A and B are shown apart, each in its own frame.
Chain A
Amino acid sequence: MIEVIHTINILLPIFYLATLIAYYYDFIKQEKKLINVKRVFLFITLFLHIIYIILRIVAFDHPPITNVFEIFTILAVTISFSYFLVELVSDIRGTGPFIIILPLIFQLISSFFIQDLTEVKEVLRSNLLGIHVISALLGYSGFTISAVYGFLYLILYKDIKLNKFGLIFNRLPNLEVLERLSLYSAVIGFCALTITIIIGIIWLPVAFPKFSYLDPKLLGTFLVWLLYALGITSKVLGNWRGKRLVMLSISGFLIAIFSTILSNFLAQSFHSFY
């Protein structure tokens, strides 16, 4: 089984690359005959990725959430799965190449550095932790997709304002759709992050009696949560929209990434397990 896992580990970045090329080719050429080929590529890659994760769980006796490289592979699969659903449900084409590149990067890093861990810290064996991590990953996938759609919104907004009617103008969906996709992804991400925080608060005093509420990871996460709460409320109240809203989404995503890097690699946080 280990051999199969190692083989799929090498194959996955190649499959993601092939999928990205298929999406990119469709974006450039937009040939009617090839319109479903890219989806087949994505489906096969996703299928292979899910098999890979199941095999890892069975072989190493824990879900792959115990270190950053295991988490990256989960992040890759959640992003591509979310996008697969978005494309199927909304039938919106043209944004694929900008999303698929993310799972490719995450999986590439994961494939290079992931190890066959069978020993994990006792603190990471909690059931609550499983839900905490899964909801956190869902949240970050939502924010990532929201930021990508927000970024695409800004590019298209600028292109239309400057009379640039090139590939971006011709292939991307309209501004309102991009804004909506960015908002919906952010709302899903926000809900998941809320669950993550609630579980974290319940679980923290049990797992780490000496933790501090001023921990950089906690502060960073709370800041991200507050930012998205502000953005979503403003949108609901009708005060903020369009450019301002997507800028908020992109900022939220950047702070989320920065906070993760800071707490895991640079600052001393109870949240640094590896």
Chain B
Amino acid sequence: MNLFAISINHRTAPVELREAVYLKDDEIRSFINYAKENFLKEGLVISTCNRTEIFGIPANNELSHDKIQSLLLNFKPAQNITEQHFQNYISRDAVKHLLSVASGIDSLLVGDNQVFKQVKDSFQIAEESQFAGYIMHRVFDAAIRTGKRAITETGINEGAVTVSYAAVQLTEKIFSNLNKKSALVIGTGETGEIAAKHLAEKGIGNLAVTNRTQEKAEDLAQRLDAKVIPFAEFRDSINKYDIIISATSSPEILIRKSDIKNALRKRNNNPMILMDIALPRDIDPETKKIDYVFYHDLDSLNIIVEQNLSKRKAEIPKVEKIIEEELDNFWEWYNSLQAAPAIKDLRDLFEDIRNEEVEKNKNKFTAEDQEKLDIITKRIVNKILHHPTIELRKAGDSSTRPEEAMMKIGIIKELFGIGKKKNE
């Protein structure tokens, strides 16, 4: 199979180089048109913050990985990117790589949920751009099936693997129903924003945000349907919140132990969760000593993240097994696609020769013997083709490596001049 793939990813290139070749959705569409004009008849382009990958089936036989790399770099000129920053795959390895990407085991955060969605979106773009042909469709199906199976049959995407998500998951180990709880997110920078989004996704009952720059808080609040608390006043209302997540860049402590003690008194000892995901810390770590207060900082949340990553890594062999199964299924289909026409062509060739010779010589036989001649020659042809047919069928099943299958089919075609004969 002449499926080529190039990949520049988190293992091969630093973030600034990955950024340089990152393609937005509209850029992917333009690139696909550009690729179709040049070498590729069908394929797929995936581009995320951690990887840009191009899969393609060439329009003719004169394609190499270098040419696809140049195609990308011509479209999106980027300095300092050399061929060392690319991983190259071909044929079965290219399909295998795509299945690994879709299943999340090739991600920077093993089992990352996002990548499966991104791969599906890329398929959608390829289809809309008429870049997905008969074979690529089957490759997509295999990749989507692999991604789904990895999620349902293994624990590859279980557990939080980011600090913000770990903070939210930890709250679920304390409170049973987040939609009856209220949360305050202090600081609406990247980390605070992600934490607020996770809380909103988990259905938090009442979400409030506060930030030194009020506009930023208002912007986030509007997007998440949250309430804004003025930064100068948030301390007065902390007793109203069951969960407080703080992620500011403040150099000094924002919430003192006495603040929490007072809040707890007002709350009648109703438990409070304090997640300090700022560095330096925003909440006095001494608060952890107060009963009914669950204080966690980056160190403790990182313990959860590390544990979950280890668990996910332990699931990789299970996912690899799924990938191999799906790869075998795909190749069985692909080999049969190659073998079946070869068998038909071979039999047609022999039948044509037989017919020609019978027609030429049948007048030398009596009318009674002409029928026998037909039967005998058919029998001879069948006997001659019996073994080659079986071998070609074997080449079409999953137990045969694609290279071996292609070699067998190629030899038969070459020896009997099947392709040439047809063309003539």
Contacts and interface: CB of A to CB of B under 8 A. Distances in A.
A156 B175 CA distance: 13
A161 B294 contact: yes
A177 interface: yes
Contacts of A62: none
A173 B175 CA distance: 10
Contacts of B173: 156, 160, 169, 174-175
Contacts of B294: 160-161
A241 B174 contact: no
Contacts of A238: 268
Interface string A139-166: 0000000000000000010001101010
Contact of A176 (B170, B174, B292): B174
Which one of A160, A180, A243 has the greatest number of beta carbons of chain B within 10 Å?
A160
Nearest to B271: A242
B48 interface: no
A22 B269 CA distance: 39
A46 B311 CA distance: 35
Interface stretch (B17-25, B276-284, B299-307): B299-307
A239 B174 contact: no
Interface string A224-263: 0000000000000011011100000000000000000000
Which one of B170, B176, B270 has the greatest number of beta carbons of chain A within 10 Å?
B176
A174 B176 contact: yes
Interface in A167-183: 169, 173-177, 180
B93 interface: no
Interface string B171-213: 0111111000000000000000000000000000000000000
Contacts of A243: 291-292
14 contacts: A156-B173, A160-B174, A160-B294, A163-B299, A163-B303, A165-B303, A165-B307, A174-B176, A176-B175, A177-B176, A239-B268, A242-B269, A242-B271, A243-B291
Interface of B: 170, 172-177, 268-271, 288, 291-292, 294, 296, 299-300, 303-304, 307
Interface of A: 156, 160-161, 163, 165, 169, 173-177, 180, 238-239, 241-243
Given A174-B172, A238-B268, 12 more contacts: A156-B173, A160-B170, A160-B173, A160-B174, A173-B176, A174-B176, A177-B176, A239-B268, A241-B269, A241-B271, A242-B269, A243-B292
